[in-house]
Structure 1
Amino acid sequence: MTIPAEKLIRLGFGFAVSQALRVVADLEIADRLADGEQSVDDLAAQTSTHADALYRIMRLLAAEGVFRETSERRFGQTELSSLLRSDQRSSPRDLIRMINSEPYLAFAQLGHSVQTGLPAFDETFGKSRFDWLADHPAEAALFQSAMIALSQGSNEAVAEAYDFTPFSKVVDIGGGHGQLLSAILARHPHLSGVLYDLPSGIAAARAGAGGHLPRTDFVAGDFFESVPAGADVYVLKKVIHDWNDEKAVMILRKCRDAMKSDGRVLVAETIVHSGNEPESIKLIDAQMLVVTGGVERTVTQYAALFEAAGLRFERVIPTVRPISILEALR
């Protein structure tokens, strides 16, 4: 039986497990075990690593249920490690690699965020997360891959949960590669769409990274300055959570000013629930505090943002995934 002190020690060493996951993901160990178990010496030869050191990390992860030591110094796949394969469509592999890179370093300054309420990333790297990514194309590409993996299933869930039948035009604000808009347009052939994002996102969407986008105008811009006008519906999926209250209200107000008189805003986010139950969104909220300065919010907090932006909060629409749609009207 684990005594409380031992449990605390295990929690304290969580960084060791997270970094071990990043290393085996970078080394594509799960891909190398796809056809069957291998000795750690063979894996080390394939990855140009130190066999004994690799063994110690593999043994650590096997104790956590990631990989399985089938005999001395031989490892096989488990259900968990199979999810780290690069050919798995919904693999969290790139998300694990991404959060254990620059964000991991920023977390060493978590105390700064707790004392000031400001992202430690800026303190660590000298600029905001998104400005830093703009200067580092390789890391930005990994970030985009991580977001695509994180969104698997949720775009379809949002498109399925909301009835777009009464409307004619939808604008996807900060839509990135266009996965959500693609899912919405596929289900509603009568709709036209506008994908609105920074130039890099628009370029990726035009190249087809997010799927087929018929009947779509591609518009590059800054949603703090303006958004495309005259649409029925403005969708913001996993956008508002990136920003503090002041900036979130600015974005929502730009949508309110641009929409038709009977238009609406749909904010698709994972809602934080009260109570002590473990939820992944609470881990992500800590990440937002440290890395972007964003906030994962409760329904009450989202309602307050809508009110401050001059919008009327209407309802919460659940989906089959851990993401909900919060609808607000003018």
Structure 2
Amino acid sequence: MLNPSQQIMRLGLGFAVSQALRATIELGIPDLLAAGEQSVDELAAATQSDADSLYRIMRLLAPEGVFREVLPRHFELTEIGAALRSDRPGPRDFVRMINSEAYLAFEQLLHSVRTGKPAFDKVFGSPRFDWLSEHPEQAALFQRAMVALGQGSNEAVAEAYEFKPFTRIVDVGGGHGQLLSAILARNPHLSGVLFDLPSGVAAARQGAGGDLPRTEFIAGDFFESVPSGDVYVIKKVVHDWNDERAAAILRNCSKAMLPNGKVLIAETLVPPGNEPSQIKGIDVVMLAVTGGMERTQGQYASLFDAAGLRLERVIQTRGPISILEASAA
């Protein structure tokens, strides 16, 4: 059992595990081990890397459950490590994305803590999404990471909410359209609007997120206005922004919403107490990278109030994501 000093040292070395994960992904080690165990020398030859150095990072990841050293300098892939294979949907693109430019921004986390402003802007000279718009390769990786993170949650949201009373759904910041596709498939009476920046709309038109029948594709800026509809769904968008900017999005939905309409935010709520929670880590990523935040139920209620809306209820889905339903105040 680790003593307090050793526990702190383990926490402080978390960056080493994170970057070792990224290195093995970039080298394609999980794919090479998919067929069975191999020696480090074989893996190093296949990846044109230094065998001793490769051994050291794989040895680091073995106690974390990613690999298993079955013989000296021979490793096999574990069930956890298999999630990093390129032929399986999963977190590999998230690990690659979070350990590149976002990782560099984290070196200036103290700047965010002192100022309340994203460190990313200081390190890269522009806000995160502006920077991504100028770096298409990293933007594509970001989109793939978001798709991986959304696995299962789109279906969970689509099945957890009753859309029968509505006729026209607007997916605000809908990206590739995976959520809208899932909702329309379950609700043939609905027509849809996929509303996003031009790049997101273009990807959705090409079917990147699935079939989108009965859908109108509209490009625009949700800080300026949103299309008219009677139910708005906003999934994993509000958390990207501070309260002022997030309230502006919701206020535009309130203005454009038809009578008796609803605004649905789909986000993961920050739980109370001291228990470990992945969303608490993502919240600090938002602080440093986008200036956004993950929120508690009470914070979302306040956000709705600021936008002229009223939180009616919170619906827990079968996944780690909740639907917060609001109507006109």
Counterpart of 1:171? Answer: 170
Say if 2:6 is the partner of 1:2: no
Shift of 1:175: 0.3
CA–CA distance in structure 1, aligned partners of residues 282 and 185 of structure 2: 30
CA–CA distance in structure 2, aligned partners of residues 283 and 177 of structure 1: 25
Counterpart of 1:37? Answer: 37
Say if 2:47 is the partner of 1:47: yes
CA–CA distance in structure 2, aligned partners of residues 298 and 62 of structure 1: 35
Counterpart of 1:15? Answer: 15
CA–CA distance in structure 2, aligned partners of residues 224 and 64 of structure 1: 43
Deviation digits for residues 259-299 of structure 1, max 9, x if unmatched? 10111100000000110000000000000000000010000
CA–CA distance in structure 2, aligned partners of residues 273 and 177 of structure 1: 29
CA–CA distance in structure 2, aligned partners of residues 55 and 294 of structure 1: 38
CA–CA distance in structure 2, aligned partners of residues 108 and 162 of structure 1: 41
Counterpart of 1:310? Answer: 308
Say if 2:246 is the partner of 1:225: no
CA–CA distance in structure 2, aligned partners of residues 102 and 235 of structure 1: 29
TM-score by structure 1 length?
0.99
Q: Counterpart amino acid of 2:78?
A: T
Q: Counterpart amino acid of 1:22?
A: R
CA–CA distance in structure 1, aligned partners of residues 52 and 59 of structure 2: 10
CA–CA distance in structure 2, aligned partners of residues 176 and 60 of structure 1: 37
CA–CA distance in structure 1, aligned partners of residues 188 and 108 of structure 2: 49
Write out aligned runs for 1:148-159 (5 A).
148-159=147-158
Deviation digits for residues 47-94 of structure 1, max 9, x if unmatched? 1111110011111111221100110111101011111111112x1000
Identity of paired residues, percent?
A: 69
Write out aligned runs for 1:1-330 (5 A).
1-89=1-89, 91-229=90-228, 231-330=229-328
Deviation digits for residues 165-222 of structure 1, max 9, x if unmatched? 1111100000000000000000001100000000000111111100000000000000
Deviation digits for residues 80-127 of structure 1, max 9, x if unmatched? 1111111112x1000001000001000000110000000000000000
SS at match of 1:139: helix
CA–CA distance in structure 1, aligned partners of residues 237 and 55 of structure 2: 41
Gaps of at least 5 residues in structure 1 are: none
CA–CA distance in structure 1, aligned partners of residues 243 and 43 of structure 2: 48
CA–CA distance in structure 1, aligned partners of residues 234 and 291 of structure 2: 18
Gaps of at least 5 residues in structure 2 are: none
Q: Counterpart amino acid of 1:217?
A: E
Shift of 1:46: 1.0
User: Aligned residues, how many?
Assistant: 328
CA–CA distance in structure 2, aligned partners of residues 64 and 324 of structure 1: 30
SS at match of 2:216: strand
SS at match of 1:227: coil
Q: Counterpart amino acid of 1:184?
A: I
Shift of 1:27: 1.2
CA–CA distance in structure 2, aligned partners of residues 273 and 38 of structure 1: 42
TM-score by structure 2 length?
0.99
Which 4+ stretches in 1 moved above 2 angstroms? none
SS at match of 2:34: coil
Q: Say what the alpha-carbon RMSD is for the aligned residues.
A: 0.6
Q: Counterpart amino acid of 1:327?
A: E
CA–CA distance in structure 2, aligned partners of residues 35 and 200 of structure 1: 38
CA–CA distance in structure 1, aligned partners of residues 218 and 27 of structure 2: 38
Q: Counterpart amino acid of 1:227?
A: V
